[in-house]
Each structure stands twice: as structure tokens, then as C-alpha cells.
Copies of this chain bind each other. A is one copy, B any other.
Amino acid sequence: MIRHSTALSGLDKGFLLFESPETPMHVAALLSFSIEKLQTREGGLDFQRIRDLVETRLDDIPRYRQRLVHRPLSDEPVWMDAEGFDLDYHVRHTALPQPGNRTALNELVGRVIEQPLDRKRPLWEMWLIEGLEDGEFALLFKVHHCMVDGASGMHLLFSLFSLCADEKVEFGSHWSARPRRSRLTLLAEELDEQASRSAELASLVAGAVRHPQQAMRQVRRSIHDIGQAVGGALMPHTHSPLNAPLGRHRRIERVSLSLNSVKAIGSATQTTVNDVLLAVVAGGLRGFIKGNGYPDEGLALRVCLPVDCRPPDDDFQRANCVSALFADLPVDEPDPLTCLLSIRNQTDKLKKSGAAHGTELLVEMNNLMGADWMTRLGRRLAMGLSPFNLVVTNVRGPSVPLYLLGAKLQTIVPFVPLMQNQGLGVAVASYCDRVDLGLSADRDQIPNLPDLARSMLDSHLALQAAVLQPPG
């Protein structure tokens, strides 16, 4: 049976459920490039060439020409080809007012990422922004979290890029929407899928009957891991100045660090790059919270740390393949090194406890059952119980220079969506010798986001001073 629709996994659907006008659920990335190779004679950006490249590359990633349609029986969303796909809706050209500085860029990006994607169309937008100072242009990419996670989002964006500055591209697209199917076809596909899911469950049960001891060992281990994962999520978080109900508007900032410096701090303290970045965030939050006159005494902020669960050879067919760990940032700790070591102790313990494996199992179970009980649980947690104060997510970026039609990629700054009651989110990506933190924040909750960005830079310097230049 050739399928015309593709079902979403339970986790993918979760991001549709989480979405509201106050909490649009797309991820985003802001990339900057040297304009030189893509400059028009008038000094603008050769938008048309980039648009044509996107059109060409979309042939390899059909999801970007599909939209959500609801199934007849269960009303569940599935992906289907979007007839009348309108590329010019998705790929947009805009500019910064002169002199095109960082402040103007941040304002534009905040305004664009606060707008939810249109559910009636393929769930992505790409904004090409000219008029940046220093001879650069920018690309802002928005894509719904039900369609990609950090890793698969990067993967698809990178299909536009080349490893060399003078790649020859054969432009042209051969796509056409598969003919629209009746509701009856959708119904047939839905019934067929229910049948195969039942068969899969049946074979699992049969396996357990044949090898009861092995099955029990697996179940025991899984129950332990799930306990670790849910336990972390269920502990109520601290009240903090970052956790009020959200409005519909956003601010963004970028914090750019030297990857070598972060790595050197890690080597000197036997911590990971991730640990060091969490310590930078913790110190930055400490300075910011104190600077705004909030009490920091005893303040620890629970962070949710998404973990990429893809095997190294993954083909990125699954949109979301993440699990999560939870750790407490000791924001009341004045000594940067003590703060870093406290974070390392926690992440070490979490890795050994199998907690990440536990959340992953929850996700797998959810997919298999075809139900959304976990996403409903997750939603209640996020809305009511607020199991964490903020998300800090780390996306590994490329370590070698990339080119878009010859234009050199200069920086990658990622952004996470904010969940209900989470005024701040931090996403991190490395590229060549830099590591960039993208801060996304509620416009009214954190009006002075630039102060927080500066405080994170200070935090990095303090950590560097404490670790790399010991007194004496």
C-alpha cells in the first residue's frame, strides 16, 4: 500500500498540543554570511538565487512541501503534500534600517520569531535579511518543533550549504504534489496503520512469553530508568523572576564565546563543554538576578537539558528524537569554579543513573501505544506544575567552514521556543572556533535582556580567570 500520508510520532504531536498564541512551538536559527559573493549590482542581496537554491533542494526533503491534515476517525494530524505549494510565501526577503547594527537585527528577529507558523501551510519560514553592517547578510530560519528537533533542523538547513566556496549547483525542481486523495483513502490508511501497530504490540508480547526472564530484566531496568526521569521532572521548581505567564512578544540576544576558551576550561577542570556552558549560564543568571535586586539566597534554577538520542548513522527520518535530563543550576554560588564542579557532579550522576534512557523509553512507549498520554502529562507538567525553570539546549554545529552559493557562513545562533511560564530559553550551537548562545525571552518579563547577555560574557571571563589563571 503506497501511503499518501505520514503519521506524527507522539512526541512530534506534543509540540502541536503545547502550542498557543503565547507559546509558538517553532525552533529558529539565525545565520550570518559574507555578502560579497551574493551581492547585486545595486548593493543588495541576490535573493532570487537563494530562493532558487531552496526550491532545488526541497526536492530532497519532501516534508517541507507537506502540510498537516487531520485523519477522519481519530482527528490525528498527518503530513500530506500541500497542493498549490507557494514557495514565495515561505522564503522572504527583508532588510534592516541603516546602519544595520546588532540592535536592529535583534529587534527584527524578535518580531519574526514571536509569530506562530500558519498551521494550514508547510510549517517553516526562511527570512533573508540584507542591510547588515560589516558586509554581511543574515538568514533566519523558523521551523515547527513537530517537524524537526535541534539536530534534524540543522541537518536540513545544511542541505543548502557546501563545503567549498565554488560549488557548481544545478538549479531546478521536479516536484509536483501527489494527487489529492479522498477522505476514504485517508481512512483506509488510518485503519491499516492501526492494524500494524496492533501486530507490533502482539509480537512484543509473544516475545515476552517465549523468553520470560529476559523480558522481566528489560522491564525492571526500564521501570527504574523511567522512575529516574519522571522523578526529576516531578520535583517542583524554585520560584524565580524568570517564570511568570508569557505574553505574545519576544526579545532575543546573542552571546558569542571562544570555543577554545570553553574547551580549555573543560580540560583544566575535567568537565565537558556542556558543563562549562551551563556554568557560564548559571553565573550570568546570578549576576543578572542580583543586578535586578532579586534575592539570590538559596536560589537554584532547575534546567531541562534535551539530549539527542539519535544513533551516529541516523538518517533523520524521525522528526524528534530527544530525551531530557534535569539539573539544578546553583545560582546562589558566588565562586565560578565551585558552581562548575557542582554542575559536573550532577551531570555525572545523571549519566550514570540512566535517566535520559528513561525519558527516551517514555517517548518510545508513547509512539508504540499511538496515544498521547505522555504529551498530555507533559503539557500538564509544563502548564501547571512547571517542572523546570528554563531549557538550555546544546546543538552540535559544524567544525569546518560552510558556504551558501559561495558566501561564507560566519555565525550560527539557535533559539528554543518558550513553554508556558518560562520567560527565558537558551540554545547553544558551535561553529568553527566559536560557540554562540541564543537567548530568547518574553518581551515584558525580561525588558533588559541585553544586560543578561553582558552578564553571561562576564560570567565566562570570571570562570576563565578562576580556572586558567590561578592566583599566585
Chain A interface residues (CB < 8 Å from chain B): 40, 42-45, 47, 84, 86, 89, 92-99, 104, 107-108, 111, 115, 118, 120, 130-131, 247-249, 443-444, 447
Contacts and interface: CB of A to CB of B under 8 A. Distances in A.
A431 to B, nearest CB: 26
Instruction: Please provide the 6 A-B residue pairs with the shortest distance between their CB atoms, ordered closest to farther.
Output: A44-B98, A95-B95, A95-B97, A42-B98, A93-B97, A42-B99
A43 B43 CA distance: 14
Contacts of A84: 444
A108 to B, nearest CB: 7
Contact of A95 (B96, B248, B447): B96
A92 B108 CA distance: 10
B40 A98 contact: yes
A376 to B, nearest CB: 25
Contacts of A120: 247-248
Given A42-B98, A99-B42, A115 B115 contact: yes
Contacts of A42: 98-99
Given A42-B98, A89-B249, A97-B131, 19 more contacts: A40-B98, A42-B99, A43-B98, A44-B99, A45-B97, A86-B447, A89-B443, A93-B97, A93-B104, A94-B95, A94-B96, A94-B97, A95-B97, A95-B98, A95-B131, A98-B130, A115-B115, A118-B248, A120-B248
Nearest to A111: B92
A62 to B, nearest CB: 21
Nearest to A116: B21
Q: Give the interface SS of chain A, mostly helix, strand, loop or mixed.
A: loop
Contacts of A447: 86
A445 to B, nearest CB: 12
Most buried by B among A40, A98, A444: A98
Nearest to A88: B107
A40 B98 CA distance: 9
A108 B89 contact: no
Nearest to A21: B21
Q: How many copies does the complex hold?
A: 2
Contacts of A248: 118, 120
Most buried by B among A45, A47, A96: A96
A35 to B, nearest CB: 11
Contacts of A99: 42, 44
7 contacts: A42-B99, A43-B98, A94-B97, A95-B131, A97-B130, A115-B115, A120-B248
Given A93-B104, A104-B93, A443-B89, A249 B98 contact: no
A94 B118 contact: no
A97 B47 contact: yes
Contact of A249 (B97, B118, B444): B118
Contact of A131 (B131, B247, B443): B131
Nearest to A104: B93
Nearest to A108: B94
A93 B111 CA distance: 11
A92 B86 CA distance: 28
A229 B95 CA distance: 48
Contacts of A93: 97, 104, 107
A157 to B, nearest CB: 21
Most buried by B among A44, A84, A97, A247: A97
A446 to B, nearest CB: 13
A95 B130 CA distance: 9
Nearest to A120: B247
Contacts of A118: 247-249
Contacts of A115: 115
A180 to B, nearest CB: 16
A443 to B, nearest CB: 7
Contacts of A111: 92
A43 B86 CA distance: 35
B247 A97 contact: no
A11 to B, nearest CB: 26
Contacts of A96: 94-95
Nearest to A93: B97
A142 to B, nearest CB: 14
Nearest to A98: B44
Nearest to A99: B42
A80 B95 CA distance: 36
Nearest to A100: B95
